[in-house]
Amino acid sequence: QNILTVCFSVGYSAVALNHVIDFKEKKQEIIKPVSPSELFPSLPIVQGTSKRIKILTRLTLVVSDPSHCNLLRSTSANIRLYDIIAVFPKTEKLFHIACTTLDVDLVCINVTEKLPFYFRRPPVNMAIDRGIYFELLYTPAIKDSTMRRYTISNAISLMQICKGKNIVISSAAERPLELRGPYDVANLGLLFGLSESEAKAAVSTNCRATMLHGETRKSACGVVYTVKKPRKVEEEETAVPACKKAKTQA
Amino acid sequence: MVRFKNRYVLCEVVSEDPRCRQCIEDRTLGLAVRDAIARVHGDYGLACCSISFTVKYLNAYTGTVLLRCRKDSYRLLCSALPFVRYLESRAQRYPCFLNTLHVGGTIRTCQRFLIQYNRTQLLRLLQNCTNEEERQCIQKSLLSCSLTEEQSQSGDEEEDDGTE
């Protein structure tokens, strides 16, 4: 709760709380997310505007095996309660699957060790088309020097493939002092190879797009498509009753 | 006109320990920032940024810091500021972090921003304060803060001092 208070005082308007599910253990149940109302009796107001702060819940699946992905297809009720779903692929095949077919909002990119696989252009382009964002963490970079090197090298290799689009920078802060303000995080984006406008977008507009993506994933099941019929048919239809009328009158 | 262009970076020191604010000094802060730049950008970055690097203004009560650097190297400075993790003074380490508020070209623009920012902070404090006296005190200072003509060269205006 401390972390959240610091977040809001620094100027963030929406925060997502993360639960990580790791599949190394035998069986894991997906826990129900903590409801935000338990943390704050009344949500404080964003600095500078008069809106309330949003607290979202987020689930991260650490997948190292294709069978773990079945969990996403299952209709477990608890998954639907999370607003944003992220996947953390450990192998190249899983990265490909996550970008192309899995129903997630974010794909986490590992920053704590050297990537075992190189990014290729086709799955990254497909992910960008589908509206999936790639996520980078910045807290390990602040803590440790070797992590910093891995973070920067992984981030720059990602940038070279995706040209800086669809990036979200987030913190995995466990203590309130590991947090940084939004302006600072955008400046960190400059270190990762983003241009200045892309870095600002990585903190603001891309995150909002991820939230909306999560909402559409939760609610939308199908699309209703209405097509306007061509005018000729309409006139004929209206003409027919007129003739009928004339006949009856006559 | 040929003159050296500077960038002034306005930051706020945020920490959990209330004693940290009292021990903020310009030397300790300058050392901490230089150390962070050296760790992130190496010798080249440190040399570039320290051409005209000083701590121009420091307010120990609110934790506001104004740093100056050259316009060519302000990006190096700004990207290294998130890496400041602690302030060290008198053999004691205080964990903290710097929150960048505003980057401006002159001290006056930073001062204007600071006054607006302090006004919003006072409004926020107003919501949180429970004592009626405190409330009235804050309201009075809110109504009386403004940018006056009597400016010292280091832009030392806080809203407590500013009166019409």
pLDDT tens readout for residues A44-94: 555 555 566 777 777 777 777 777 666 666 555 566 667 788 888 888 888
Between chains, do A184 and B83 touch, taking CB under 8 Å as contact?
no
Through-space distance between the first and last CA atoms of chain A, rounded to whole angstroms: 83
* Residue of chain A whose alpha carbon sits nearest to that of B79: A187
pLDDT tens readout for residues A212-231: 888 877 776 666 677 777 66
Question: To the nearest whole angstrom, how far is the Cα of A146 from the nearest Cα of chain B?
Answer: 12
Angle, alpha carbons A215-A167-B103 (nearest 5°): 110
Domain boundaries, chain A: 3-218
* ipTM confidence score: 0.75
- % pLDDT > 90, chain A: 0
Residue B43 has pLDDT above 90, yes or no: yes
Question: To the nearest whole angstrom, how far is the Cα of A179 from the nearest Cα of chain B?
Answer: 8
Chain B contact present for A145, CB below 8 A: yes
* Averaged confidence pLDDT in chain A: 73
CATH, domain A3-218, list 3.40.50.720, 3.40.50.300, 2.40.50.140, 3.20.20.140: 3.20.20.140
Query: Cα dist. A41→A1, A58, A211, B129 in Å?
Result: 12, 21, 23, 17
pLDDT at residue A140, rounded to an integer: 79
C-alpha dihedral sign at B150, B152, B156, B160: negative
Contact criterion met (CB below 8 Å) for A98 and A89: yes
d(CA A126, CA A3) in angstroms, rounded, equals 35
- % pLDDT > 70, chain A: 66
When CB atoms are compared, the residue of B14, B75, B85 closest to A190 is B75
Mean pLDDT to the nearest integer, A95-121 = 80
Contacts of A45 in chain B (CB under 8 A): 127
Residue A145 has pLDDT above 60, yes or no: yes
Question: To the nearest whole angstrom, how far is the Cα of A94 from the nearest Cα of chain B?
Answer: 33
Residue A129 has pLDDT above 70, yes or no: yes
Closest CA to A104 of A130, A66, A129, A68: A130
| Verdict on whether the full-model pTM lies above 0.80 | no
When CB atoms are compared, the residue of A142, A179, A183 closest to B83 is A142
